[in-house]
Amino acid sequence: MRVVALGGCGAMGRATSWELAENEAVDDLLIADADIDSADEFAAELPGDVETARVDVTDHESVVETIADADVVANALPYAFNVAVMEACLDADCHYLDLGGLYHKTQDQLAYDEMFADAGLTAVLGMGASPGLTNIATAMGASRLDEVESIHIRTGARGGGEGFAYSAKTILDELTMDPIVYEDGEYRTLDPLSGRETYTMPSPVGEVEGFHSIHSELATMPTTFPGVEDVDFRVAFSPDLVNICDVLIGLNLTSEEPVEYKGVETSPREFLDWHLDRQPKPGPVEEWKSFRVDVAGTEDGEHAQYRYSTVVESRLDDWGLKATAVWTGVPMGIAAVLVGQGDATADGAKPPEELFDPEQFIDELAGREIVIEGEQIE
């Protein structure tokens, strides 16, 4: 199996590349990135003979040429490029995976379902931690129920250092775009940073404060699970990061309204994205990432609720990566192999909860010391 890790030397892509390089089912691994020097340096750290290539993702023909011999493309680039890479995969006749599309981009990608199905290809939309593992856990809970009524997703973290753990643009989008929730069988749009709630995650994460955030799970779960009435998602970023973003929002620095400064037209947000992208990212420090998914409904005519949770720790000794990268990148690496082996349950462009056997996926994760634990809540 030949796999291309697109953006495979980035903050999240490194974990995907490690997972793929250590998987015996992958015969050839190519790390394709705009920064060929970083790709070469990183590839030298990985086991086996890992190839590299420079690629300009804004050049369609360049992407198609780079992935032409691939069986699967694992796209770890920022979500803005998802549709462009999907179109390249259709032209190159290869399967596709990404880390999520922040609801609206995921909706755009779902429109490619029939095209991928007609081509006999699979596109996995959102196969990181959240979306990704949260979708797998939800599917596991739903498999225990006769009917799903509600899905509540919570995430939290401890440690991790200062600053933006991954793409500053994506994090700012998560904090400034209007969140979507599904309540009483209808979609609702809320205000950014609203719905603050204190909840307890598995140890050592413990008690955190989360809030509603725009997320891809809401783009698919209300239709994946017919009859569900309520689906929501809350994220708990570090208080320091939330405070920083509160200040940026308060100063109107996240505005996308055009302004002119010294003869140059831009927007505060455009400048902020440019500036933050050039700041150093936190190094590989100790961190714990966690999610909790509660799936409730009816089982044998009675109300039942199942909870699935996990805690993922940094892998500093062998991979030199913090937990944010590990729990995001490893699932996409596992899924890429499953898709390449023909273990996805359907062709088309679909979310993880529709494409994988949740028990099989949870077993694969356990082999990487990512343990999703389930319990019935009385």
pLDDT one-digit tens code per residue, 83-95: 999 999 999 999 9
Average pLDDT on 59-76 reads: 97
Fold of 133-322: Dihydrodipicolinate Reductase; domain 2 (3.30.360)
Fold of 2-129+326-364: Rossmann fold (3.40.50)
pLDDT of residue 125: 98
pLDDT in tens, 247-300: 888 888 888 899 988 888 999 888 888 888 777 766 678 999 999 999 999 999
Q: What share of the chain is helix, strand, coil (3-state, %, to 5)?
A: 35, 30, 35
Q: Which amino acid is at 295?
A: V
- Lowest average pLDDT, out of 220-224, 250-254, 278-282, 304-308, goes to 278-282
Four-point Cα dihedral 251, 256, 258, 261, nearest 10: 40
Q: Whole-model pTM?
A: 0.93
Paired residues of 95 in beta bridges: 72
Inform me whether the pLDDT recorded for 164 exceeds 80. no
Q: Would you place residue 167 in the very low, low, confident or very high pLDDT band (cuts 50, 70, 90)?
A: confident
- Lowest average pLDDT, out of 30-44, 247-261, 290-304, 360-374, goes to 247-261
Task: Give whole-number Cα distances, 339 to 25, 56, 218, 250, in Å.
Answer: 12, 25, 23, 44
Q: Which amino acid is at 234?
A: R
Q: Specify burial of residue 193 (Cβ count, 10 A radius: 0-12, 13-18, 19+).
A: middle
Tokens representing residue 242 in the block: 């939330």
- Going by the DSSP 8-state scheme, the letter that residue 104 receives in this structure is H
Give the start-to-end residue ranges of the domains of the chain: 2-129+326-364, 133-322
Q: Would you place residue 239 in the very low, low, confident or very high pLDDT band (cuts 50, 70, 90)?
A: confident
Average pLDDT on 215-229 reads: 97
Instruction: Give the count of beta carbons closer than 10 Å to the beta carbon of residue 369.
Output: 11
pLDDT of residue 370: 97
